[in-house]
A and B are shown apart, each in its own frame.
Chain A
Amino acid sequence: MSNLDAAFFALADPTRRAILARLAKGEATVMELAEPFEMTQPAISQHLKVLEDAGLVVRRVEGTKRPRRLAKGGIEAMDQWLRMLRKALEKNYDRLDEVLATMEKHKKGETR
């Protein structure tokens, strides 16, 4: 799987999206992440592994703790791909502006 495949696959799960949303507020340990989800720590760790393999989450070593945070690069790669789509959509409407301007011109031509 390419990184982008893995990243969007990782997002196709509500718990993993909730984990990312939580990490968007700042670093958290597995224990802190497990708390609001009513899930066992191993289950959360499994989800974190998917997110880490997809390049969306990284871990840091702090004594016995392994706090996780968002991986900027992985998030940006997804954002860049989505930006391409957004641009294509904007481009459509810029072209539509031109089509509408031409229609208006023709209409004026007819009534004259």
Chain B
Amino acid sequence: MSKMTLKTEGDTHVVVTRRFAAPPEAVYRAHTDPKLIQKWLLGPEGWTMPVCLNEARPGGKIRYEWTNGKGGGLSDR
């Protein structure tokens, strides 16, 4: 797989570029289907994502929660 590149745009944007050997629809689904997101968007080794809500539509809710199983946790919504 091609290497990931990171580029900043101004002070508040980071653009991540990475190629995947899959059709765009599949990559999009993996970014919007909570069941699939929970399989890969986990960060460092040992972390899981017990709560994942992603309603990919206008006005839809989004909520991600991670835990390391040792009391460490963070959420993003």
Contact = CB atoms under 8 A, between A and B. Distances in A.
Contact of B44 (A91, A97, A100, A104): A91
Given A91-B42, A99-B39, 14 more contacts: A93-B4, A93-B18, A93-B20, A93-B40, A95-B39, A97-B20, A97-B21, A99-B30, A99-B36, A99-B40, A100-B22, A100-B27, A101-B21, A103-B22
Contacts of A84: 44
Contact of A100 (B4, B6, B26, B42): B26
Interface of A is mostly: helix
Interface residues of B, number: 20
Interface of B: 1, 4, 6, 16, 18, 20-22, 26-27, 29-30, 36, 39-45
